[in-house]
Amino acid sequence: MAVDRYAVFGHPISHSKSPLIHALFAKQTGQKIAYTAQDVPPGCLEVAVRVFHAGGGRGLNLTLPLKELGYQLVQELTPRAQLAGSVNTIFWQDETLCGDNTDGVGLIRDLTANLGLTLTGKRILILGAGGAARGIVGPLLEQKPAFLVIANRTLARAQELGERFAVLGKISVTSFADLAGKHFDLILNATSASLHGELPPLPEGLIAKGGCCYDLMYADRPTAFVRWGLEHGAIISADGLGMLVEQAAEAFYIWRGVRPETAPVIWQLRADADKKTV
């Protein structure tokens, strides 16, 4: 029987865990698919997508730095891709190139279903105003927090996000310096500072009593922000591995109509990471 082909495009891409995640989903659900990772520089995206589909490819994930380009490229957008302004999942419907964004739903499922958090009525802070922040603001506001604050090094980028999403709920923006004296129930790090082992400048007392921290970045060892959360009183301080697996599960569902169980896949990836760090 022919195997349906899927892939993730990014630049660079060698670090991607997506081929392993989708192989585990396929094994678990008995779906016959092949999923590979392909290095695609931004200037080659359009041709690479066309060549992939002409060769029988059925669906794609896009990762850094291609998500915004994917948004421009597709012919039809789902409402959540429209809201996010970026595309991480591509599928074809009657030869129409369609784009979706599963990052937001992936984050919400990890926070609520996996970590057991309630977001409604909570004071939420997002650090960063880049592509990842843009993808999660809408889905977070849909959970009806008490309010959402975006803090960013470049204030103008936070302001742009604040204006874009103001119709969806109570949202405001701030510099890092003006965070002093404020308290939040959930702080999400959507900056890329963790990639370099760095942290934005955060004041003491930022985490409210019983509050939680979440770093969208994931790594085999706890990230600088996950460690900061634990050292400053967060009752949960998690990285973005669960979000990665959940957004992949949603893409798998879009392509195959089957929803894989995510918990065993998250456990396996955590166990693999632990083996690497001992």
Which residues belong to the active site? 67
Q: Judged by CB under 6 A, does residue 10 bind ligand NDP?
A: no
Q: Judged by CB under 6 A, does residue 137 bind ligand NDP?
A: no
Query: What is the smallest separation between the CB atom of 147 and ligand NDP, expressed in angstroms?
Result: 20
Listed as own residue / partner, the contacts of 111-115 with beta carbons closer than 8 Å and 24 or more positions apart are: 111/186, 111/214, 112/143, 114/242, 114/246, 114/262, 114/263, 114/266, 115/212, 115/214, 115/236, 115/238, 115/242
Q: Which range, of 1-9, 93-101, 147-155, 269-277, touches ligand NDP by CB under 6 A?
A: 147-155
For ligand NDP, the binding residue among 11, 58, 123, 153 (CB under 6 A) is 153
Q: Rounding to the nearest 10 degrees, give the CA dihedral for residues 228, 231, 232, 233.
A: 130
- Would you say 70 or 128 has its CB closer to ligand NDP? 128
- Would you say 75 or 154 has its CB closer to ligand NDP? 154
Q: How distant, in Å, are the alpha carbons of 63, 188, 224, 251, 273 from that of 256?
A: 20, 31, 37, 9, 28
For ligand NDP, the binding residue among 19, 85, 130, 233 (CB under 6 A) is 130
- Amino acid letter at 273? A
CB atoms inside a 10 Å sphere around CB 71: 19
Residue number closest to ligand NDP, CB atom: 130
For ligand NDP, the binding residue among 10, 99, 104, 128 (CB under 6 A) is 128
- Would you say 3 or 163 has its CB closer to ligand NDP? 163
| Residue numbers 195-254 binding ligand NDP by CB under 6 A | 195, 198, 200, 216-218, 240, 243-244, 247
* Separation of alpha carbons 237 and 226, rounded Å: 5
Q: Is the four-CA dihedral 123, 129, 133, 137 of positive or negative sign? A: positive
From residue 166 to residue 205, the character string flagging contacts with ligand NDP as x (rule: CB under 6 A) and all else as - is ------------------------xxxxxx--x-x-----
Q: Given the rule CB under 6 A, which residues bind ligand NDP?
A: 64, 103, 128-133, 152-154, 157, 190-195, 198, 200, 216-218, 240, 243-244, 247
